[in-house]
Amino acid sequence: MSRERDAVLRRVTTTAREIRLRVLDMVYTVQSGHIGGSFSEAEILAALYNHILNIRPDDPKWDKRDRFVLSKGHACPALYAALALRGYYDASHLNTLRRFGSILQGHPVIKTPGIDMTSGSLGMGFPIAVGMAIESHLIGKSNFAVYTLLGDGEINEGLVWEAAQTANKYRLGNIVAIVDRNYVQNDGFSDEIMPIEPIDKKFEAFGWRVWKIDGHNVEEVIDALEAARDYGDGPACIVAYTVKGKGVSFMENDRYWHGKAPNREQYEQAKAELEGAAP
């Protein structure tokens, strides 16, 4: 492995750990927010914002920037942490999550530096991302790529598949969808609520090129994102198998932590576990 590659892996791994710590602090401080799905997406966001996306944090509206849409918008605490760590705004904003007048609301809004589209109503962010990719692909306004992150429960929404076939119709080689396959929704296990496997075969049937990865293995995440970015012969999808609440023993695979805040004792235990994880 080259020194440059090793440095990327270490940077993304360290950032993912820092994202989880920042999310824990945010949600505990305001006693509100979605922690489980934020933890499951940490490596994905760390790789996007520290290696993949063509962006300028000092110029958030740069017209040639790559776009990112968090379709599973409730998991925005991790996105807010990733943006702060990348320099879009001062980290002091993080502890204002969901407060009146804050730039960091309970779901992403476009007024926040680094947020390319308001999202949160499940299923709607993905079609918007497809529309962005169509703009770049057909109009050629700025030749940017579009990345979007969906929850696995979210793909129960029918408009997700309408958008998927639209991306195939236009052979959008500039869109990458990532499915955070953490198996848990607010009301229980996703496979019990509505079976959705085989996710890869379904996207393939809609004309997408698909990669399946361990969403917490940084090398696999980076390799898949690079391959999807460079594919170019139509839409690309990465199914990232993850763990809800990843990194904290009592939060993992527990639907209770979809949208709950820890008490003092839980916060201290979670912080100790995350700080003790190897960077």
pLDDT of residue 237: 98
pLDDT of residue 143: 82
With cut-offs at 50, 70 and 90, classify the pLDDT of residue 182.
very high
pTM of the model: 0.96
Residue 181, domain CATH: 3.40.50.970
Mean pLDDT of 164-192: 93
How many CA atoms lie less than 13 Å away from 92 in the CB half-sphere?
1
Calculate what percentage of the chain has a pLDDT beyond 70: 98
Indicate the pairing of strand 188-189 with strand 184-185. antiparallel
Chain centroid to CA 14:
17
The pLDDT tens digits of the residues spanning 183-219 come to 998 888 888 899 999 999 999 999 999 999 999 999 9
The pLDDT tens digits of the residues spanning 120-158 come to 899 999 999 999 999 998 776 558 999 999 999 999 999
With cut-offs at 50, 70 and 90, classify the pLDDT of residue 68.
very high
Residue type, 171: R
pLDDT of residue 278: 58
Mean pLDDT of 170-177: 96
Mean pLDDT of 253-271: 95
Residue type, 100: F
Closest CA to 82 of 41, 120, 133: 41
Domain containing residue 163: 3-276
> Sign of the CA dihedral 262, 263, 267, 270?
negative
The rounded mean pLDDT for the chain is 95
With cut-offs at 50, 70 and 90, classify the pLDDT of residue 75.
very high
pLDDT of residue 69: 98
The answer on pLDDT for 165 being more than 70 is yes
Number of domains making up the chain? 1
Contact 38, 245 (CB under 8 A): no
With cut-offs at 50, 70 and 90, classify the pLDDT of residue 160.
very high
The pLDDT tens digits of the residues spanning 91-109 come to 999 999 999 999 999 999 9
Q: State how far the alpha carbon of 55 is from the alpha carbons of 66, 68, 94, 181, 258, in Å.
A: 6, 10, 21, 26, 30
pLDDT of residue 138: 78
Taking each continuous run of H as one helix and of E as one strand, the counts in the chain are 10, 7
H-state helical runs in the chain: 3-30, 36-40, 42-47, 76-86, 125-134, 158-169, 190-193, 199-205, 218-231, 264-276
